[in-house]
Chains A and B, each alone.
Chain A
Amino acid sequence: MKTRIDSVEDITRSFAEQGYICNDQIALAIYLAAQLHKPVLVEGPPGVGKTELAKAAAAFLEAPLIRLQCYEGLDESRALYEWKYGKQLLYTQLLRDKLGGMLADTDSLEASMARLGDLGEAFYSDTFLEPRPLLQALRSDEPAVLLIDEIDKADQEFEAFLLELLSDFQISIPEMGTVTARHQPLVLLTSNDQRELSDALKRRCLHLYIPYPEAAHEAAIVAARVPELEAELREQLVAFIQYLREQEMKKLPAISETLDWARALVLLHADSLEQDMVADTLNLVLKTEQDVTLARELLPAWLRKFGKR
């Protein structure tokens, strides 16, 4: 992992080279997070590139990306560590005779117990420990980027459990004691605002809100990601998407959908937005039937007004 970050511009440049076009605020947040060793909570509507940000940050810092996807019912055994119960069971079964032999020459219960006690820890050692993402991040040999994705989908109790990790970068495992991070990871949490996160969690994090991008910014993103698309069509496409976002849609189109559409247009060899073609490909941008119908109704008027100058 890179230990020195010269400036915020450094980050912006590196991100741009990877095709992740970001504004200054995003770059600044990553800069501060790396310098102050604070986790960042990234919020924003779905599809604006929250997860991509973590990937770009990992590439920039030349650090491995460890990802934990949250869901309802996620618990410690999935997030932190688990004992490989199957392996433990198999070993005890295979070693049954061996154990019997070992204990054969003891004459009292106490002696057997003492002998068992000597090797008792063996079944709770590293061999049987299955590290999950959080533990991986703490025990990683080089500093890592830890992405805790969609934290709002996890239960509140899991959120509370994360607090120790986020503030002290350590975690307690009853059988092994406290595990402290060898290198402090850069932690990014993302949330789609499905539920209110606790104040305690927010307090420990820097907070970054990524809104839908402005037209110029979005055009730059499309240019970076789908360079094959002609500039004129790009402007048109972005203008139309921006227009859609102002409408009463059930689900607003995000950047990822803009990119999908741009790629489709390249495949179709389109050179300007035309009514039929747009109507046919609208379902790449809008994900509910209701929205598609609405957009189809709005389309002719929009084309007349802005489509051809």
Chain B
Amino acid sequence: MLSRRLSEFVQALRGAGLRISPDEAAIAMQAVALVGYEPRQQFHDALSVSLLKDEQQRTAFEETFQRYFEGQGERRDASAGEGAEPVKGMPDALSAATEESGELAPGLEALLAASAEQLQQRMAEAAAAMDFTQMQVITQQGLYTRRLLMNMGMGAVDERILQLSEGGVTSEARADDLREWRGQVREQAASLVRRQFLLHGAARGRELREQTMRQVSFRDLREFREVKTLVRKMARRLASAHQRRLKIAKRGQLDARRTLGRSIRHDGVPATLVWRRRPPHKSRVMVICDVSSSVSEAARFLLQFLYALNDVLPRVRSFAFASRFDEISEDFQRYSPDVAVARVLDRLSGSGTDYGEMLEGFLGLCEGQLDRHTTVIILGDARNNYLPERAELLGQVRRRVKQIWWLNPESRNQWNSGDAVMASYLPHCRVARRCANLNDLERVVDGLLGSLRAE
């Protein structure tokens, strides 16, 4: 029983955003088996020591613990009840009156005769038999409430009300009383379901929302409030995946040539060993973002992502253009990514992109700094407003740098429609990908980090 409660608790914690592996859950069980359920503080500490691995999530943990182990018990506390008064049993006079009319179903009789405590007991039993962990969205609450009431045997009450309302005036009054009572019970059931939804549904809901956020196009992403957290989370995952591999091996292979060279002064005895070291990689990334209205949302996320990766990509220079072309690295060094993006959009956004002019501006600004460690990323839809595309300038860039990546927020079949001129730029790009949502973006950056490592 306790282990089931605990695994439900673990699931609720996951819903609150904590990452808990099955292994950790098992340790928590062992810990609880050691210290027991009482005293409560020790029980709490044992769970916190084995499940809470990040102090920043302390509040989430405490809240869930409160809801889970303090909220349920002999009586519901104020926060759990959420306004629903504990329902009284059916008033005596009424139950007596209903009995007069004779031949009640035995289940109904027991239900009506139940005291407040018994009623709650019944509801708790009915709830225990149900599986609330499948609840996913908030609108499912009605369904679950109805199911809970049915499990309690409230169906008999419905029938009884129907039966009474077909009778005379006196029985009509009785039916009203019954209806009111039924309403109270329903409210209580609804509050129980709401609490269960907070515990379990929220978990599913979060996963669902995250999946949606990853797949929805950048333009609609603004609707989601949690998107910033998600971007940070994705960036951190990528960073930790690539960080280790980007490190240089400190020792490993013997540098035989230099070891022998040094041994000469010791009469050929290799007194000091020299290990082969690989020089640290010097890859540099330059991003050029189209921030005209059609692409600016994608640019916002690409830039946020790249700067969140500061640990593994320390040398990012960024440029933006719409009607004008300018370097924006400084905005990102000085302000947090959100602010920086807003400032850049303010300063440069507009319509009428000219890719040819952008390339010219880029070459003018940093042709001298392009070298074989540089990766240039261009984010744009290549819609050039029928201006000269000047692809030869991109060729000039390519000859100086390691590689060019082109990210296009439109799907591949749109790349050459209308005023789009991807076809002329494509031959110069080592990689050209669609980048329309967070999933695409993650894949692109993953590939990018991989290619930088290969250097």
B48 within 8 A of A: yes
Q: How many residues of B contact A (CB 8 A)?
A: 32
Taken residue by residue from 181 to 204, chain A's Cβ proximity to chain B (1 for < 8 Å, 0 otherwise) reads as 000000000000000101100111
Within the assembled complex, what's the spacing in Å between the Cα atoms of A156 and B246?
11
Partner of A25 from the list B23, B45, B271 (CB cut-off 8 Å) is B45
- On chain B, the residues within 8 Å of A203 by CB distance are 21, 23-24, 53
Q: A24-B41, A156-B243, A156-B244 are in contact. Are A202 and B48 (CB under 8 A)?
A: no
Residues A38 and B52 in contact, CB atoms below 8 Å apart = no
Partner of B46 from the list A28, A40, A41, A85 (CB cut-off 8 Å) is A28
CB of A130, distance to nearest CB on chain B (Å):
15
Residues A89 and B269 in contact, CB atoms below 8 Å apart = yes
Within the assembled complex, what's the spacing in Å between the Cα atoms of A198 and B240?
8
B50 within 8 A of A: yes
CB of A10, distance to nearest CB on chain B (Å):
13
Q: A89-B269, A156-B244, A199-B19 are in contact. Are A29 and B49 (CB under 8 A)?
A: yes
Within the assembled complex, what's the spacing in Å between the Cα atoms of A8 and B19?
28
Q: Which residue on A lies nearest to B44, using beta carbons?
A: A25
Within the assembled complex, what's the spacing in Å between the Cα atoms of A35 and B32?
12
Q: How many residues of A contact B (CB 8 A)?
A: 35
- On chain B, the residues within 8 Å of A29 by CB distance are 45, 49
B30 within 8 A of A: yes
CB of B6, distance to nearest CB on chain A (Å):
15
Residues B273 and A28 in contact, CB atoms below 8 Å apart = no
CB of A5, distance to nearest CB on chain B (Å):
10
A interface, over-half SS: helix
Within the assembled complex, what's the spacing in Å between the Cα atoms of A160 and B247?
13
Q: Which residue on B lies nearest to A206, using beta carbons?
A: B49
- On chain B, the residues within 8 Å of A160 by CB distance are 244
Q: A32-B31, A202-B53 are in contact. Are A93 and B269 (CB under 8 A)?
A: yes
CB of A164, distance to nearest CB on chain B (Å):
15
Residues A24 and B42 in contact, CB atoms below 8 Å apart = yes
Q: Which residue on A lies nearest to B244, using beta carbons?
A: A156
- On chain A, the residues within 8 Å of B24 by CB distance are 203
Q: B261-305: which have CB < 8 Å to A?
A: 269-271, 273
Residues A206 and B50 in contact, CB atoms below 8 Å apart = yes
Within the assembled complex, what's the spacing in Å between the Cα atoms of A32 and B247?
36
Using a CB–CB cutoff of 8 Å, the interface residues on chain B facing chain A are 19, 21, 23-24, 27, 30-31, 34-35, 41-42, 45-46, 48-50, 52-55, 58, 236, 240, 243-244, 247, 250-251, 269-271, 273
The 10 A-B residue pairs whose C-beta atoms are closest, nearest first, are A202-B53, A25-B45, A207-B53, A209-B55, A28-B45, A29-B49, A206-B49, A156-B244, A32-B31, A203-B21
